[in-house]
Amino acid sequence: MANSTTEKTKAAAAEPISMMSVLAPAIGWLIPGAGHMIQKRWIRGGLLFVSIVTLFLLGLAMQGRIYHANGGDILDMLGFVGDVGSGALYIVTLAMDWGQGAIQFATADYGTKFIIVAGLLNFIAVADAYHIAIGKKQ
């Protein structure tokens, strides 16, 4: 079993890095679902796009808060890691100064979690796009 694992590792290491294996995760991070779409997985990409973007926008509309890189607190930094997974959505939100949060709303905290989870789900989608690009998944 150890031998087969070693062989697999060697085979993976020997595999050349293709253009798609770099492009798909990068595009997929920037625009949720786009990493699947450029590999002609239109329905999967569309569903991922709708799911992640809707979750992010709902979070914003629920007065959720956007975390910044220099939050100072370790939990804020973790929140930033989650948020930044949304790619362009996060960049645009930051540029437009949205997502300031509103503690007057009980549901604003749900919104903050929606935004973080949207980013984390996009990270999973990016990993999936990479696996498709390298042929590990159909």
Partner 1 sequence: MRITLPLGRNNDPVSGSQYSVLSHSRLGETRIVTITLNHFGAATVFALFASIVFGITHRDTTRDMVRYGLYCFVMFLGGVFVAGWAMWLLRR
Name the residue nearer to partner 1 (CB basis): 6 or 107.
107
The stretch among 19-27, 68-76, 77-85, 118-126 that binds partner 1 (CB under 8 A) is 118-126
54 forms part of the interface with partner 1 (CB under 8 A): yes
Q: Collect contacts of 44-53 with beta carbons under 8 A, ≥24 apart.
A: 48/125, 51/121, 52/86, 52/118, 52/121, 52/122, 52/125, 53/89, 53/118
Paired strand residues for 100: 65
Tell me if 99 contacts partner 1 by CB under 8 A.
yes
Bridge partners, 21 (sequence order): none
- Give min distance, CB of 102 to partner 1, in A: 5
Q: Using the rule CB under 8 A, is 125 a contact of partner 1?
A: yes
What are the Cα distances from residue 54, in Å, to 9, 14, 19, 39? 38, 40, 30, 22
Considering only the stretches 13-21, 23-31, 52-60, 82-90, report the one whose residues sit in contact with partner 1 under the rule CB under 8 A.
Answer: 52-60
Residue from 28, 34, 63, 84 touching partner 1 (CB under 8 A): that is 63
Neighbours of 5 (CB within 10 A): 9
Q: For residues 13 and 88, which CB has a smaller minimum distance to partner 1 in the complex?
A: 88
Token pair belonging to 51: 């799911």
| Footprint on this chain of partner 1 (rule: CB under 8 A) | 44, 47-48, 51-52, 54-55, 58, 60-63, 96-100, 102, 104-107, 110, 113-114, 117, 121, 124-125, 127-128, 137-138
